[in-house]
Amino acid sequence: MEGKNEQRAGLLYGIGAYVMWGLVPLFWPLLKPSGAIEILAHRMVWSLGVVTIALLAVRRWAWIGELVRDRRKLALISVAAATITVNWGLYIWAVNNGQVVEASLGYFINPLVTIAMGVLLLGERLRPVQWVAVATGLAAVLVLAIGYGRPPWISLVLAFSFATYGLVKKKVNMGGLESLAAETAVLFVPALGFLLWLGATGKSTFTAGGTGHGFLLAATGIVTAIPLICFGAAAVRVPLSTLGLLQYLAPIFQFGLGVVYFKESMPPERWAGFALVWLALSLLTWDALRTARRNRALAVKLLATAAAAPATATPTPEGAAILPSDAAPLGGTTTPAPEAATTTTGTEAPNPAQQKIT
């Protein structure tokens, strides 16, 4: 009973995290007339404050000394901070400039980009269905480029920056709260310097916009940290395959807001491109669930064999992955974070606590 309650709580945490990420396009327009870069700087500064309070509450500080002594990890954290800056900044700009639908497309195609990067950069091998899904995704981008009259550059930059961020996070191997604290710490000084410069030149909207506007800018830290904390709570309670399914809630909500609330145009060729993307994601979902079931069946069979012959060691075939729980998230990725990602293609189980969505 306790296990079921934990899974139920984890599911609610996961839904809450992805729904909050999905509804975040409603928040950024409230910060006008602040520009995207000013909003981004406030987000970096206030996020560090919020995660510091969270770390004080859970008393997790040992990782700081380890990180400071590890130059390689520090360099990777700096790269992660740079890529998430590009992702966050472009996403805020896109939402506040009437490009919510194209921004949502970036997070729809992110699993496909992540898989492609796994093949090109990590030498991972794809299953046939995954190849079909990636090819379908490429066809979708071509159709959308024709529909837009240009490549969907907002979607592509969001997808590639987030996939790169996920690749770096995979190498860093830190928890979500700790990595966000480290990344915002790296960004804090330049962000604060930019805000002070805006204030000195009379271009800051923090105080000029009134108390309410200043409060909303400060709330960017809460908007960033709360979904991530909920995601972290979900990641330790529910299977990876469940998180893999939930990851699509965020771009679905974003797409719905773009079409219904912001009333962005959707001509037939754009619908066709999105339909191809959704087909590719459906193929990834089916393949990941099938692989998870196969891995569970293999684990049960090997355990049964070992129990029947306890005196005989049963060697594991070379290259076989024994994953007694759900083997891999859908499409090889689980995305919190706009704002979490890994770069696997079903050959290893990622740590979803390392991930984040915008």
3-state secondary structure of 219: coil
Select from 4, 6, 76 the least CA-distant residue to 233. Answer: 6
169 compared with 138, residue with greater pLDDT:
138
The per-residue pLDDT for 355 is: 45
Read off the pLDDT of residues 143-200 as tens digits, 9 standing for 90 and up. Answer: 988 888 888 999 999 999 988 888 888 788 777 788 888 998 999 999 999 999 999 9
The per-residue pLDDT for 339 is: 47
- Over the Cα atoms of the chain, what is R_g? 21
Mean pLDDT along residues 71-96 = 93
| The pLDDT of residue 348 is above 60 | no
The token pair at 297 is 């069946």
The token pair at 231 is 């995601």
DSSP summary character for residue 335: -
The per-residue pLDDT for 59 is: 84
Lowest mean pLDDT among 23-32, 74-83, 123-132: 123-132
The per-residue pLDDT for 29 is: 95
Place of tokens 């909920």: 230
For residue 54, give every residue at least 6 positions away whose Cβ sits within 8 Å of its Cβ, in sequence order, or none: 177, 225, 229
The per-residue pLDDT for 328 is: 36
The per-residue pLDDT for 94 is: 96
331 compared with 11, residue with greater pLDDT:
11
* Mean pLDDT, rounded, of the chain: 82
Mean pLDDT along residues 281-308 = 83
Residue 351 C-alpha from the chain's centroid: 12
The per-residue pLDDT for 167 is: 84
Read off the pLDDT of residues 27-67 as tens digits, 9 standing for 90 and up. Answer: 999 999 999 999 999 999 999 999 899 888 888 888 888 88
Contact 176, 336 (CB under 8 A): yes
Lowest mean pLDDT among 73-77, 156-160, 306-310, 344-348: 344-348
* pLDDT tier for residue 232 given thresholds of 50, 70 and 90: confident
* pLDDT tier for residue 4 given thresholds of 50, 70 and 90: confident
Residues 150, 181: Cα–Cα separation, whole Å: 37
The per-residue pLDDT for 153 is: 94
| The pLDDT of residue 337 is above 70 | no
The per-residue pLDDT for 309 is: 66
The per-residue pLDDT for 262 is: 94
DSSP summary character for residue 325: S
| The pLDDT of residue 341 is above 70 | no
The per-residue pLDDT for 240 is: 67
| The pLDDT of residue 254 is above 60 | yes
